[in-house]
Amino acid sequence: MIEVKGLWHIYEGGKEALRGIDFDMGNEIVALVGPNGSGKTTLAKHLNGLLKPTKGEVIVDGLNTKEHSVAELSRIVGYVFQNPEHMFFAESVFGEVAFGPRNLGLSGEEVEERVRWALEKVNLEGYENRTPYSLSGGEKQRLAIACVLSMKPKYLVLDEPTTGLDEKSAESVRDIIRSLHREGHGILLITHEMDLVLELARRVVLLHGGKKIFDGPVDEFFSLELRDYGLDRPELLRISFSIGTGFVRTVEEFVGRLAR
Amino acid sequence: MMYNFYVERDSVLHSLDPRVKLAGSASAVIILLLFNSPEVLIPLFFLTILLVYTLGKITPREQYRVLKPLFPILIITIVVWAFVYDPWYRGALIGVAYGLRLLTFGLIAFSLLMTTTQRELILGFIKLKMPYEYGLTMTIALRYIPTLYMLALNIMDAQKARGWEMEKGNILVRMRKMSAVLVPLLIASIKTAHELSIALESRAFGARKERTFLYTIEMKGRDYAALLMTGVILGIALYMRYGLGFGHIKLY
């Protein structure tokens, strides 16, 4: 359980990025949305202690982030940054994925086992000896997820995991997210892509100007006046709402409704 | 992150042509190098503060802020001179003077940067026949310092999230650990530079040998007056030092 209580964050220079956020999540898929500069990343960086609260507190599985280092918290909350290349430095995919577990001080055998497991999870078996920078965009994103996954965190923060990927690569990333959720991981999805929200999330948290505007089920979220927050409904919902078939999550569901 | 020192004011220094200010700064540096006696260097330091305040409207408080990072050097200089010179109090005094001379150098450089925009400064260099490409290189370098700084912070965050801790271990371990930040930073910088070169070329960079400028600078009457005054002051200083033998002491 991640608990955020009355969280304020004021950056050096006085910018109030978060103004009193209350939020908690378990092993569910939560979409964190909001316009640029609304505080999404600032909030997410509090969950693994990269940022410490100015006021209020963040408790991760009973650990107060103020009292624990990022390295300790990284065993519980994994954070996959938006640009995968910003973390690649090893000569091989294997070395890259092994970096996290090695930092945790695990034995060689354990590290190797975790690397194999993580690479299998993201369908990158057989890539061990490739250079991270030689991979395609989608593969890089999956490798980034594997790098964090190998630390076996219970929660994962994914920052724009499908942005800039072609449909096939995006679909494989979505599959990975779904399977991780099935296995009991809690996933916080930071995104601007409303299609992704519709397809994956059960719950949506909307931030605006450092405040939480909305926190609830995805169908309720899409009935909000989203244009006020610089967002919009996915095409599928706009069609579905305008012909009166109501909230649907997928095209299949929509066609099913129409057929009835 | 401080990278642009410029402060907007309505002052004499701000309104002068950058070439005059460059000449003034160079003369001030020469004058400082002429003298080595504490009796001259210490007053010169305070005179510089006063001049930067009256001519540039940069308050002593603002001057203090930019000079603060140099204070350790001042202290080291005083301590070292007190140790190596006999008697020690005379050494300490020389240390104070030499340390303050360093601060004065800093003050001159900072006052130039605080009263001149980057654009003006580079225009000044170009008008002094520096090739335009060098000016552009300088502008880009200055422009990218904060960008790369932000990128480095971001990369550090990404690696911290993988259990990376720079604070742990001895110096060799730490240096090895830095590769986790330096490699992505280097690759991202090279990529940025490459993209920037494509962007520049796609905007016809280098299509004309002689570049024209939208904003330009011109020497006016007061600029020539200031330049003349700088020359006179430099001349007086040279005469005092070599004609009268003033302000120079034999240390050993």
- What is chain A's mean pLDDT, rounded? 93
Tell me the nearest-neighbour CA distance from A96 into chain B, angstroms.
10
Q: Is A144 within a domain?
A: no
pLDDT digits (tens, 9 = 90+) for A161-180: 998 889 999 999 999 999 99
Q: Is A119 within a domain?
A: no
Residue B119: per-residue pLDDT: 83
Is pLDDT of A12 > 90? Answer: no
Q: Is A194 within a domain?
A: yes
Segment A29-34 shows an average pLDDT of 95
Alpha-carbon dihedral angle through residues B67, B72, B75, B80, given to the nearest 10 degrees = -130
- Across the interface, of B154, B182, B184, the residue whose CB is closest to A88 is B184
- Across the interface, of A75, A79, A103, the residue whose CB is closest to B164 is A103
Contacts of B153 in chain A (CB under 8 A): none
Query: What does the radius of gyration of chain B's CA atoms come to, in whole angstroms?
Result: 23
Segment A65-69 shows an average pLDDT of 93
Residue B3: per-residue pLDDT: 60
Structure tokens at A9: 């964050």
Structure tokens at B41: 């260097």
Q: Is A64 within a domain?
A: yes
Dist. CA B87–CA B162, nearest whole Å: 57
Dist. CA B68–CA B60, nearest whole Å: 12
Are residues B163 and A79, on separate chains, in Cβ contact within 8 Å?
no
Tell me the nearest-neighbour CA distance from A199 into chain B, angstroms.
27
Dist. CA B35–CA B101, nearest whole Å: 10
Structural domain span for residue A20: 2-76+153-218
Total count of domains within chain A? 1
Segment A115-125 shows an average pLDDT of 94
Tell which residue, B157, B2, B110, has the closest CA to residue A12.
Answer: B2
Q: Is A68 exposed, middle or buried (0-12, 13-18, 19+ CB in 10 A)?
A: middle
Tell me the nearest-neighbour CA distance from A62 into chain B, angstroms.
19
Are the C-beta atoms of B217 and B123 separated by less than 8 Å? yes
Size of interface A-B (CB pairs under 8 A): 65
Q: Is A41 within a domain?
A: yes
Are residues B163 and A74, on separate chains, in Cβ contact within 8 Å?
yes
Kindly provide the ipTM of the predicted complex, given to two decimals. Answer: 0.90
Q: Best interface-test mutation with A: which of B162, B182, B186 has the largest number of A CBs within 10 A? A: B162
Is pLDDT of A207 > 90? Answer: yes
Is pLDDT of A81 > 90? Answer: yes
Angle at B130 between CA B124 and CA B131, to 5 degrees: 120
Consecutive 10-residue averages of pLDDT for chain B (252 residues): 75 93 95 92 95 94 90 93 90 94 94 89 87 83 84 93 83 85 94 93 85 83 95 95 87 76
Q: Is A96 within a domain?
A: no
Q: Is B158 exposed, middle or buried (0-12, 13-18, 19+ CB in 10 A)?
A: buried
**What are the backbone angles phi and psi of residue A153, rounded to the nearest 5°?**
-80, 155
Contacts of B179 in chain A (CB under 8 A): 89
Q: Is A81 within a domain?
A: no
Q: Is A8 within a domain?
A: yes
pLDDT digits (tens, 9 = 90+) for B168-219: 778 888 888 889 999 999 999 999 999 999 999 999 888 887 777 888 888 8
Tell me the nearest-neighbour CA distance from A72 into chain B, angstroms.
7
CATH classification at residue A186: 3.40.50.300
Contacts of A100 in chain B (CB under 8 A): 162-163
Are the C-beta atoms of A64 and A142 separated by less than 8 Å? no
